[in-house]
């Protein structure tokens, strides 16, 4: 094998949430996403479809499951999932309001 040949065409970077030096990264944020499962496509149709929030989340804290869930211990509250959701099913709320509804 020459130096220019690829060893494995399927190698990719994978992001996994983990505790950092400053603790769980979700502690830093002020805003948290809340999913309205009645609007969310996988939950409302009971089909493994959409999952754009899972695809776009830069912190890999969204599950590709029915229902979709978000690990708030590591969510940074960036709001990308809410921006990308085609069903308008994700609302960004202040962390205080979110904690009260859990
Ligand atoms: S992007 Fe919106 S509709 Fe699609 S799975 Fe996520 S929350 Fe549900
Ligand atoms: S707010 Fe940002 S970090 Fe949190 S689940 Fe949505 S995309 Fe991921």
- The protein residue with its alpha carbon nearest to ligand 1, atom 8, reads 40
Domain count, the chain: 1
For residue 10, is it within any domain?
A: no
Atom of ligand 2 nearest to the CA of 32: 1
Q: pTM score, two decimals? A: 0.81
8 A C-beta contact, residue 37 and residue 85: no
Q: Give the model confidence (pLDDT) of 47-73 as tens digits.
A: 999 999 999 999 899 999 999 999 999
Domain that holds residue 83: 35-101
Q: What is the dihedral of CA 24, 26, 29, 34, to 10 degrees?
A: -170
User: Token digits for 58?
Assistant: 């830069």
60: domain CATH number? Answer: 3.30.70.20
For residue 73, is it within any domain?
A: yes
> What's the CA-to-centroid distance between 58 and ligand 2, angstroms?
7
> Is 93 touching ligand 1 by the criterion CB < 6 Å?
no
For residue 8, is it within any domain?
A: no
Q: Give the model confidence (pLDDT) of 6-62 as tens digits.
A: 666 666 666 777 777 767 878 888 999 999 999 999 999 999 999 999 999 998 999
8 A C-beta contact, residue 69 and residue 63: yes
> What's the CA-to-centroid distance between 28 and ligand 1, angstroms?
24
> Is 66 touching ligand 1 by the criterion CB < 6 Å?
no
For residue 4, is it within any domain?
A: no
Ligand 2 surroundings by CB, under 6 angstroms: 33, 57, 59, 61-62, 70, 75-81
Alpha helices in 12-94 (DSSP H): 41-45, 52-56, 80-84
């Amino acid at each position: 094998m020459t130096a220019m040949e690829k060893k494995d065409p399927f190698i990719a970077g994978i992001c996994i949430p983990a505790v950092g030096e400053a603790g769980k990264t979700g502690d830093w944020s002020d805003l948290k996403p809340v999913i309205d499962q009645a609007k969310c496509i996988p939950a409302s149709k009971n089909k493994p479809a959409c999952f754009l929030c899972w695809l776009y989340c830069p912190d890999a804290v969204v599950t590709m499951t029915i229902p979709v869930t978000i690990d708030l211990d590591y969510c940074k509250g960036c709001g990308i999932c809410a921006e990308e959701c085609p069903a308008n099913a994700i609302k960004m709320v202040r962390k205080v309001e979110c904690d009260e509804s859990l």
